[in-house]
Amino acid sequence: MTYGTKFTALALAALVAGAGTASAQDCPIKVGVLHSLSGSMAISETTLKDVMLMLVEQQNAKGGLLGCQLEAVVVDPASDWPLFAEKARELLTVNEVDVIFGNWTSVSRKSVLPVIEELNGLLFYPVQYEGEESSRNVFYTGAAPNQQAIPATDYFLDELGVEKFALLGTDYVYPRTTNNILESYLISKGIPKEDIFVNYTPFGHSDWATIVADVVALGADGKQVGVISTINGDANIGFYKELAAAGVSAEDIPVVAFSVGEEELSGLDTSELVGHLAAWNYFQSADTPANAEFIAAWKAFAGENRVTNDPMEAHYIGFNMWVNAATAAGTTAVDAVRTAMYGQEFPNLTGGTAVMLPNHHLAKPVLIGEIRADGQFDIISQTPEVDGDAWTDFLPDSAVLTSDWKDLGCGMYNTVTKTCVQLTSNY
């Protein structure tokens, strides 16, 4: 039996009897859930496991998929990047899941990628990331840099008059690549390189006094300083506590975060963080009927005190697109579902429509939210849907690349040489 092609005993008996070649979908349909439930990333990923369980339960209540009930298969890679690869292989070869929803950090996704490609699995990845990748086996339902990092930087430049930038990140591929893109972008906008401070800290970093002091010192010449934060996981708790302890307000030095949402703030005293910002494609405070229905369902499932956030919406969109694609294909077989995914549309929770593009990224709106005292966000800026770019325009080697799996069958097509560079795992 190969992954993605299953036969029921009835269909096998029919084949043996020479009655035909039609096959039926094996039941139950297994949905892999690959999120850290322990370790430094559990603060962000546990809620994504929970929303997947809710989505599976809701789909089963509708009658399931292709005449089958869905079964969630949950594993805990425990914020251990090599363990992500082992758990992905376990899901595909032992549990024989039909699809995987999972990962948060890019280093965990990079760990999983060779396994997914080797076994022709299908991964829906729900978190903002650095771009610079396009795999035929991954659908990226979170934001690319042009759907989060670049618009947030423009907001700092155009609306807040920021003149000096502190790019603070956790030390792994997403912050480093994103900050390389942003540094190049800022320089193209006329910000001198010496006015860009870049710093990386390990996962779980807790001593922020020196770094916050260094950021404050950037403004000694009177120029407006802003922080762009790609800090991930529970290190954010210490960072925001140190800002408050140092008396740094949003008026003094605004912070815009790319990995801090309602879930991360729910464990903090946010009274001293009012006015700091986050850039996402969804906030719980979005005032739409679809969002009100989603929030009510979530609270009924998980508890009245639980909040929603952007990666949850990405899973909501990705899961429903996968259901619709499998329905259209009449099977959960990966190759058939992939083909049916192109052009899939599904209403997002902010009033627009998500569209799956041939580069395996979504068209998504860009929202900037301001932290409120209750840990929610006031949405202060929202764009129409922006098409996600797999390859940035702000790194020379990437600016000539495009991704089109539908017509070109290539995730790394050079528009100058008109050739496709095919890499099997790490782009």
| Strand ranges inside 192-282, DSSP E | 196-201, 225-230, 255-257, 277-280
Q: Is the pLDDT of residue 10 over 90?
A: no
Place of tokens 């920021």: 162
Alpha-carbon Rg for the chain, nearest whole angstrom, is 22
Query: For position 18, what pLDDT does the model report?
Result: 30
CB of 311 within 8 A of CB of 126?
A: yes
Share of the chain above pLDDT 70, in %: 93
237-271 as b/e: b if 16+ CB within 10 A: bbbbbbbbebebebeebbbbbbbbbbbbbbebebe
Token pair, residue 352, equals 């627009």
Q: Is the pLDDT of residue 7 over 80?
A: no
Fold classification of 146-286+369-387 is Rossmann fold (3.40.50)
Q: Is the pLDDT of residue 15 over 80?
A: no
CA 427 to chain centre: 17
User: Do the two domains 9-143+288-362 and 146-286+369-387 of this chain adopt the same fold?
Assistant: yes
Which residue, 255, 256, 241, is CA-closest to 208?
Answer: 241
Separation between Cα atoms, residue 382 and residue 318, nearest integer Å = 21
Q: Is the pLDDT of residue 27 over 60?
A: yes
CB atoms within 10 A of CB 282: 28
Check: CATH 3.40.50.2300 for 9-143+288-362? yes
All residues at 6 or more sequence positions from 202 whose CB lies less than 8 Å from its CB, including other chains: 170, 171
pLDDT 10s digits, 253-276: 999 999 889 988 887 788 888 999
Query: For position 423, what pLDDT does the model report?
Result: 57
Query: For position 12, what pLDDT does the model report?
Result: 32
What is the number of residues in the chain? 427
pLDDT 10s digits, 378-405: 999 999 999 999 999 999 999 999 999 9
Query: For position 287, what pLDDT does the model report?
Result: 97
pLDDT 10s digits, 134-160: 999 999 999 999 999 999 999 999 999
More confident position, 166 or 422: 166
The region that residue 366 occupies, defined by phi over 0 for left and psi between -120 and 50 for alpha, beta otherwise, is beta
Q: Is the pLDDT of residue 28 over 50?
A: yes
CB of 427 within 8 A of CB of 412?
A: yes
More confident position, 5 or 60: 60
Q: Which amino acid is at 147?
A: Q
- DSSP track, 339-386: HHHTT-EEE-TTSSEEEE-TTSBEEE--EEEEE-TTS-EEEEEE-S-E
Token pair, residue 81, equals 């990047």
Helices (H) and strands (E) in the chain, counts: 13, 19
CA dist list (Å): 106 to 173, 332, 358: 6, 26, 21
pLDDT 10s digits, 37-47: 999 999 899 99
Q: What is the pTM of this model?
A: 0.89
Domain residue limits, the chain: 9-143+288-362, 146-286+369-387
Q: Is the pLDDT of residue 250 over 90?
A: yes
Query: For position 56, what pLDDT does the model report?
Result: 98
CB of 140 within 8 A of CB of 328?
A: no
